[in-house]
Amino acid sequence: MESLKFGAASNRLTIRTGVAVDDTLSIVERKGLGHPDTMADHLAESLSQSYSAYTLERFGAILHHNFDKLALLGGASEVRYGGGRMTSPVRVLVNGRATRSCGAEEVPVDTLVKSTVRQFFLERLPEVVEHLDIRLNVTENSSPGAVLIDNRVPERTRWFSPRSIEDLRERRTLLANDTSLGTGWAPRGPLEELVRKLTDTYSAPGVFTRNNPWCGNDVKVMGYWDGLQLDLVMCVPQKSVHVRNLEDYRRNTEIVLAECRRLVDHRFPHANVSIRLNARDVPSRDELYLTYTGSSIESGDEGVVGRGNRVNGLITPLRPMNLEGASGKNPVYHVGKLYNLVADRLAHQLHEATGGYAEVHLVSVTGQPLDQPGRVVLRLAAEEVQPDKIQSLVADALSSIPDLTDEIVREGVHLS
């Protein structure tokens, strides 16, 4: 293993080559579109994107905000074969901060948030739209560090109450908002690809869900692979209005299993395979993963930003991860979002450039230039690399952050 430090940023960029990679054992999890944690992530990101797009169009800049502490508190429901209903609403706790005015003009934060929440549930879980209790805990309090001296107004107190967009410090220079880190790795292995495919097949709009309207979207898949044995544990709910009796439920589970076996056989043709579907079911007592809405959010389950899939859409305990909740963060300078996206993309570029496994860690220092992390650590399986090419890829990735911000707001970027 060789450790290299080079270039103008020799005290910040470290490359280790010949890194041993153990890919003989994999554990992978993915939560589907209707899982409460995934919904919390995606709703927080929708709020950030809506707010960013509004302020960008109205004022020419993205005003300060963060919705990354959002939480969903499950409601209550009654489930019967062939029917069901909501009996208690889902509470949406929109926690965070947002600029409510720029100069003399107000930003309709509450209206914007409520309409975004309703539109999100209309698309993701329409049965819940009329059963939402939206609680707004959105402040415009300034960050620490505003020291009062005489009658001067500290610059920091204007971050969430700017007189004009010229009060936004990031218009002069982009600085990291926090000391944190971004992590990425590549390439994805066969189990990562299988778990993603299975989860999306059952939870995302597509051929399977169109042909099987009883399939709910609160899906979770856990996979294990040791080179010989493949274990899959899957939770795939059914929607009660489409299930007339226990026989229907059992028939539907066989359809899920048949599709799973087809996808497994294509990717793991010689594996010993074990598949467990809805392991908590007790059919003799009619205890089933049968739901009215297709999600456990209807019956007490909670969802919180940052508890689900990482930025790459997976939960991979045997690969590097960090605990940042990227969704809902400000896309201009919040390193918990931007560094994770940059690290993930850079890892794939390094994999393509070196032909082997690549791992990226970007460590920020709060208040320092956003394109100059305190540390850039690359771990590469390749024994030999071209230092100039690697350094160029890193520099390009960091300098692309403003373009990434634009991509997040205008095109949308899938986080988790």
| Average pLDDT for 11-33 | 94
Query: Three-state SS across 224-246?
Result: EECCCEEEEEEECCEEHHHCCCH
Query: Three-state SS across 75-98?
Result: CEEEEECCEEEEEECEEEEEEEEE
Within 10 angstroms of residue 242's Cβ, the number of other Cβ atoms is 15
Summarize pLDDT for 101-138 with one digit per residue, the tens: 999 999 999 999 999 999 999 999 999 999 999 999 99
- Euclidean distance between CA atoms 348 and 57, whole angstroms: 33
Intra-chain end-to-end CA distance of the chain, in Å: 33
Place of tokens 């309709």: 108
Single-letter amino acid code for the residue at 15: I
- Euclidean distance between CA atoms 273 and 253, whole angstroms: 17
Q: Where are the beta strands (DSSP E) in 90-228?
A: 90-98, 101-102, 105-106, 132-139, 181-186, 220-225
DSSP letter at 122 equals H
Tokens of 320: 């590097």
**C-beta separation of 234 from 291 below 8 A:** no
Summarize pLDDT for 23-66 with one digit per residue, the tens: 899 999 999 999 999 999 999 999 999 999 999 999 999 999 99
Q: What are the backbone dihedrals phi and psi of residue 69, each rounded to the nearest 5 degrees, phi first?
A: -110, 20
For the entire predicted model, the pTM comes to 0.94
User: Would you call the peptide bond into 283 cis, given omega within 30 degrees of 0 as the criterion?
Assistant: no
- Euclidean distance between CA atoms 7 and 70, whole angstroms: 42
- Strand 229-235 versus strand 220-225 pairing type: antiparallel
Q: Is the dihedral of CA 397, 37, 116, 169 positive or negative?
A: negative
pLDDT attached to residue 11: 65
Q: What are the backbone dihedrals phi and psi of residue 244, each rounded to the nearest 5 degrees, phi first?
A: -80, -30
Nearest Cα residue to 290 out of 11, 5, 80: 80
pLDDT attached to residue 10: 52
Query: Three-state SS across 27-47?
Result: EEEEECCCCHHHHHHHHHHHH
Q: What is the CA radius of gyration of the chain?
A: 24
Q: What are the backbone dihedrals phi and psi of residue 140, each rounded to the nearest 5 degrees, phi first?
A: -130, 35
3-state secondary structure of 265: helix
Summarize pLDDT for 56-93 with one digit per residue, the tens: 999 999 999 999 999 999 999 999 999 999 999 999 99
